[in-house]
Amino acid sequence: MAEQSLDLDFDLLYTDLAPVDLVFQRAGRLHRHERSRPEKHALPRLLLGVPESLDFGKPLYWNAVYEDFVLLATWRALEGKASLCIPQDLEVLLEEVYERGDPESFSEGLRERARKSLWRLRAQRELAEAMVQKFSLSSLDDLFDYSDVPDLVAQERLEDDEENEKTQRLLTRLGDPSVAVVPLFEVGGGLFLDREGRRRAPLEGKLSPEEAEALFRRAVRLSRFPVPQELLKEDPPLHWRRSGLLRGLRYLKVGRVFPSHGGKFQVELDQELGVVYRPV
């Protein structure tokens, strides 16, 4: 499912269950523009896929991306609704899912799951609030004293937090484990920054500040399972690890294949769409 700011317009949309704000975001691709449509699709239609058992673990692994509590609360808020008004209904549903959620209001079979998941979610929020408070209590002069981005990253240990499982979910929407990668192209047995093989990737030797910043600016964050889980097991190149700016990054060979549920997918880099995943 595309969640980027792409100008897509669909007559009919199917999506797996996701947090309510993401469901609304995806629904925004329905009837985006005024145009003639087939008679059967004169009205926008959204289909929401939910497992009968409300089990978000194997083989779906939805709970590897979103907390159980948010999915359960979203399903409870949307269950039985025949229609949604966008954006009028969004604020009410956001409050119902994120602010008024009460584990004790779930059915007996789901109550314990909801309790444990809500505890994890609150712990993540407390961690986020602590980080925000840390920076809010810093004087502007202290923050501006950092000579460059690598200095800020190194001194505040922002990338070190990325290596810690307990803070992984904090980094992206308080819910998505992710990894920052630099896509590289394999040409003639070497790795390059471009498809044509003109700019060799600096994987060895000391990096200049300009080279480190250029690599950092090329980084993209990926969260599709199991990309972060696999790449975070691998060490970055030696001189990347010595750079405050790069030590949290991994390089990713464009075209690399990862296992998927019941198959495999390949990570590609499209000039217009950016990172795309293709089944193989």
pLDDT at 141: 54
pLDDT at 131: 65
Element of type H or E holding 251:
strand 249-253
Furthest CA-CA distance within the chain: 63
Q: What is the Cα–Cα distance from 168 to 124, expressed in whole angstroms?
A: 9
Looking at the DSSP assignment, which residues form a beta bridge with residue 180? 221, 249
3-state secondary structure of 186: strand
pLDDT at 147: 45
Instruction: Give 56-60's long-range contacts (Cβ < 8 A, gap of 24+).
Output: 56/17, 59/261, 59/262, 60/16, 60/261
3-state secondary structure of 56: coil
Q: Is the separation of the CB atoms in 266 and 257 below 8 Å?
A: yes
pLDDT at 203: 92
- pTM for the model stands at 0.47
Q: Is the separation of the CB atoms in 184 and 252 below 8 Å?
A: yes
Q: Is the separation of the CB atoms in 13 and 30 below 8 Å?
A: yes
CA-nearest of 125, 105, 129, 127 to 115 is 105
Q: What is the Cα–Cα distance from 162 to 165, expressed in whole angstroms?
A: 8
Q: pLDDT below 50 — which residues of the chain? A: 143-175
Q: What is the Cα–Cα distance from 23 to 12, expressed in whole angstroms?
A: 14
pLDDT at 142: 52
User: Per 3-state DSSP, what percentage of the chain is helix, strand, and coil (rounded to 5)?
Assistant: 40, 20, 40
List alpha helices for 85-200, DSSP H: 90-94, 108-136, 140-144, 149-156, 158-162, 165-171
Residue range 41-56, pLDDT digits in tens: 888 898 998 887 788 7
C-beta neighbour count of 146 within 10 angstroms: 14
